[in-house]
Copies of this chain bind each other. A is one copy, B any other.
Amino acid sequence: MKTTYREALREAIRDAMRRDDRVFLMGEDVGSYGGCYAVSLGLLEEFGPERVRDTPLSESAFVGAGIGAALNGMRPIVEIMTVNFSLLALDQILNNAATLLHMSGGQFAVPVVIRMTTGAGRQLAAQHSHSLEGWYAHIPGLRVLAPATLEDARGMVWPALCDPDPVLIFEHNGLYNLAGELADDAGPVDITRAAVRRPGRDVTLITYGGSLTKTLAAADDLAAGGIEAEVVDLRTLRPLDSDTVLECVRKTHRAVVVDEGWRSGGLSAEIAARIGEEALYDLDAPVRRVCSAEVPIPYARHLEEAALPQTASIAAAAREVVRGG
List residues of A whose CB falls within 8 A of some B CB.
84, 87-88, 90-91, 94-95, 98-99, 102-103, 125-127, 130, 134-135, 137-141, 238-240, 261-262, 264-270, 272-273, 275-278, 280, 283, 285-289, 294-296, 298
Asked if B125 and A103 sit within 8 Å, CB to CB, the answer is: yes
Residue among A88, A126, A266 with the most chain B CB within 10 A? A126
Asked if B138 and A262 sit within 8 Å, CB to CB, the answer is: yes
Bound Cα distance from A285 to B140, whole angstroms: 28
Asked if A102 and B276 sit within 8 Å, CB to CB, the answer is: no
> Looking at the complex, which one of B103, B140, B262, B288 makes contact with A262 (CB distance below 8 Å)?
B140
Residues of B within 8 A of A280 (CB): 276, 283, 285-286
> Looking at the complex, which one of B95, B264, B269 makes contact with A84 (CB distance below 8 Å)?
B95
Asked if B140 and A294 sit within 8 Å, CB to CB, the answer is: yes
Assembly of this chain: how many copies? 2
Bound Cα distance from A129 to B141, whole angstroms: 15
Asked if B125 and A264 sit within 8 Å, CB to CB, the answer is: no
Bound Cα distance from A240 to B137, whole angstroms: 22
Asked if A140 and B296 sit within 8 Å, CB to CB, the answer is: yes
Residues of B within 8 A of A295 (CB): 102, 140
Q: Which residue on B lies nearest to A239, using beta carbons?
A: B264
> Looking at the complex, which one of B239, B265, B285, B287 makes contact with A135 (CB distance below 8 Å)?
B265
> Looking at the complex, which one of B127, B134, B276, B286 makes contact with A99 (CB distance below 8 Å)?
B127
Q: Which residue on B lies nearest to A238, using beta carbons?
A: B264
Bound Cα distance from A95 to B269, whole angstroms: 23
> Looking at the complex, which one of B138, B278, B298 makes contact with A265 (CB distance below 8 Å)?
B138
Asked if B265 and A267 sit within 8 Å, CB to CB, the answer is: yes
Q: Which residue on B lies nearest to A105, using beta carbons?
A: B298
With A90-B90, A275-B276 known as contacts, the answer to whether A296 contacts B265 (CB < 8 A) is: no
Residues of B within 8 A of A276 (CB): 272-273, 275-276, 280, 286-287
Bound Cα distance from A272 to B287, whole angstroms: 11
Known A265-B270, A276-B286; 4 more pairs at CB < 8 Å: A140-B294, A240-B264, A268-B273, A269-B269
| Closest Cβ–Cβ distance, residue A231 to chain B (whole Å) | 20
